[in-house]
Every structure is written in C-alpha cells, then in structure tokens.
Structure 1
Amino acid sequence: MDGNEPAPGATRYHRDLASRNREALLGAARRLFLELGYDGTSLAKVAAEAGVSRATLFKQFPTKAELFSAMVTASWATDDAQAPPVPGHPLTALSTLGTRYAALLTRPGMADLFRIVIAELPRFPELGRTHFEVGKMPFFDSVRDHLLAEQRAGTLRFDDADLVTTQFLGMIANYVLWPRMLLLDWDPDPTSVARAVEEAALTVHARHAVGRDQD
C-alpha cells in the first residue's frame, strides 16, 4: 500500500461518519423545515440541531436549496426491498402500487411538507418544482412504467399512460392526502385507506383491462 493512501479501516470509518452526519442533517432539516418553514430555517440552525459543525454541513449541502431537495428526496424514498410487480396480473399490481402510494402519503410529516411547499410557493417557486420533480415524479414514473409493461404484456389497453397514472394516483391522493390540507382531524383508518386503494385499482382495471380473465 502507498504510504499516502488511507488505511481501509480509516476510509470505512470516514464513510460511516459521513453517512451518520448526513442522516443527522436530513433529520434536523426535516424537523426545522416542518416547524419553522423554509424561510425561517437557516443552515446554521440545521447544523446546531444536528450537532455537527457548519463546515460539515457545507461539505454535504452547500446551499439551503440543496438541503431541501435532499430532504424531499428522503421523504419520498421507497424501500429498496420492494420489488416492482411482475406484469401479467394488473389488478393485483395496481393494488400493490396503490398501497405503496398511500403509505408514502400517510408518512408522518408528509402532509406538513405539502403545506410548507404550498405556503412558501409565492416567495420560493423552486420549492414546488423540487417537491414535484424529486418527490412525486420518481414514484409516478414507476407506476407509469408498470402500466406500459402491462400494455406490452397485453393485459391493459390505453392511449395515454401519463393520464391513466394521474387518474389512478389522483383517486388515492384525493382521499388519503388532500383532505388533510384543510381538515387537520382527517385521519382515515387503515381499513378505509385500503378500501380507497382497492376502489381506485378496480376502477382503472375495469376501464382498461383486456378481456375479463386477467385476475
């Protein structure tokens, strides 16, 4: 080994430390953004809340916009262990994808995150784009891609995959999320959420299924 190269153990230690610092910063950013809003949250406050130096914060997130983007991405992140459905059984797949979407929308703080973005939009329009592009769109794309895979498999037929995806996810969000924007006590029980997901899946399937023996 070259004398100038760090030992493998040291390199692993620094990677682990950077990962722990990143998790601490994202957790602190989430708490402060939700509590103080975007304008009221400073990088200095996030560093203090996370218990790291400002230099450590700036090394990972040079600007507040980058920190907010990373926080939104983490808020919408899905479990890597969740494999995409296999085409061939569209109703089952739609139910699975819908259940995952409902779980994302009902995560603690998700409704508050939407409220912050909406409230700050007039002064910080980039927040809306960030929330849309790095938050919702990756999941939207995964659902649209599956619908297209079902179409290639001959189980679904439609002209506009984006429209069908929007309608499907919209039916779920309209029950699970959007009432929370105005009704702070809106908290449907798991059975009601599951029923809303199933009805959305059945509606899309009834409209676009090829034949009657797909599921």
Structure 2
Amino acid sequence: MARELSAYHREVAATNRATILDAATGLFLESGYDRTSLARVAASAGVSRATLFKQFPTKAELFEATVLAAGGSPDSEPADPPDGDFHAGLVTLGLAYVELLTRPRMVGLMRTVIAESARFPELRERTFDFGTLPVLAALRRYLRAEHVDDTDVAAPQFLGMIASAVFWPRLMHGTWSITEEETLRTVDEAALTIVARHAPTGARESPCGACDNGTS
C-alpha cells in the first residue's frame, strides 16, 4: 500500500508541478511540440528528469496538462451568476468564457494542438478534458441548477456560439480583433438563444440585452 505523502512533500510536489508546467508552456510555444523534449523541460524548470517523469511520464501527457493549466489558473474561477435571472447568469458565465478563450497562452497552445497533432499520434489520441476547466464546470452546474433538461446539448451550443465569433477567427488570423461591444453582443445573443431554446417555461421572459439599444 502506497504511503500517503506528508503536507510538506505535497507542497513540494505542487510547486514542482507548477514550475514544470510554466517551463513546458514556454517551450511548447517557442519551439513547438516536436522540438520540445522532456529533457529540455526538466532543464528549463530546474528539476531532475526523475522528478518530471514522476508527474508526466510522456510528452503528450505533459502537453495536455499545459493546455488545461492555461485555462485553469487559480484566478479563473468565474463570478457567481446572479440568482433569479437565467439570461443574466448565462451572460456572466459567457463573459468568463471569453476571458478564457482570449488568453494569449491558450490561443497559442491550441494553435500547436491543431498544427502538430496530425504528425504525432500520441498527441492526437489524448483526451483533453476541457470540462474540468473552472468556467466550463461552473456552466454545467448552473444549467443543472436552472433545471435545463439536457446540459450536454445546451452547454456546447452556448459555448460554440461564443467561440465561433470570439475564438476561431483569432486562432486562424493573428491580426484579427473584435471590439468589446461586439463581444458583449455575441454573448448576449448566445444567452438569449439558450433561454429561448432550453430554459424552463417560467424563465423565458428574461429581458433582451439588445433592447437597451433601442432594437426589438
């Protein structure tokens, strides 16, 4: 039976993990997946290869961890959605998702996934569990709390409407940009669509954010 680590050793392991992930992220973004070796990551992080291999036995596992870490930093917990207003709650979580998508490291790492995965089966076959990211987990909890019947349908629909306007054009065109007003409208329209399609009947009278601008 494995002996449980002491609080000190758990803290050392957590510190090493954070240092390794930071070093790995920088190397993956600078050199790509192919030219980033575990040995280079260990040297850059200032840890032994044994320490790195204990936490990340393969480069594919390390790369997956860097992607998830880029979207799961301690300050990435979204604000609590307001009670009693399904539309406003969705907007709160939608804006938190925008913040996640527009982080420089997240965009760069996703470019690496797309560019490199075709050549590296071990990377292509990894399962990136994005559902563990705080904002995505919070969205699923919120949809369940609002008694949405099929969160597995509603959540991807909501996130997809936002990503199609905020993330994918940025990923494909490095100089592309979207204004704050356009971003707010994108999130508002996505929220209104989810309210109309998935909200319980009594919650479908949420106000239209665009109506404030004099439109109907």
TM-score by length of 1: 0.78
Q: Which runs of 5 or more structure 1 residues have no equivalent in the other structure? A: 1-10
The alignment status of 1:148 with 2:144, answered yes or no, reads yes
Percent of aligned pairs with the same amino acid: 52
| 1:171 paired residue number | 161
Distance of aligned partners of 1:137 and 1:80 in 2 relative to their CA distance in 1, 3 Å threshold: closer
Q: Count the aligned residue pairs.
A: 198
Describe the SS at the equivalent of 1:109: helix
Describe the SS at the equivalent of 2:177: coil
Matches for 1:1-215 after TM superposition, within 5 Å: 12-77=7-72, 79=75, 81-82=77-78, 85=81, 88-128=84-124, 130=126, 133-136=128-131, 138=133, 140=136, 142-151=138-147, 160-209=150-199, 210-211=201-202, 212-214=204-206
Query: Which of 1 and 2 has higher RCO (CA within 8 Å, sep 6+)?
Result: 1
Q: C-alpha displacement at 1:26, in angstroms? A: 0.2
Q: C-alpha displacement at 1:182, in angstroms? A: 2.1
Distance 1:13 1:150 in 2: 41
Q: Is the 8 A contact 1:87 1:150 kept in 2?
A: no
Deviation per residue, 1:51-105 (Å, 9 max, x gap): 2222221222222122122212212216475465476421011111111111110
Q: Is the 8 A contact 1:87 1:146 kept in 2?
A: no
Describe the SS at the equivalent of 2:146: helix
Q: C-alpha displacement at 1:192, in angstroms? A: 2.9
Distance 1:43 1:120 in 2: 17
Describe the SS at the equivalent of 2:22: helix
Q: Is the 8 A contact 1:121 1:128 kept in 2?
A: yes
Deviation per residue, 1:25-64 (Å, 9 max, x gap): 1001111111222121100110111122222212222221
Q: C-alpha displacement at 1:171, in angstroms? A: 1.0
Instruction: Give the partner amino acid of 1:122.
Output: A
Distance 1:97 1:125 in 2: 34
Distance of aligned partners of 1:116 and 1:144 in 2 relative to their CA distance in 1, 3 Å threshold: same
Runs of 4+ in 1 over 6 A off after TM superposition: none
| 2:214 paired residue number | none
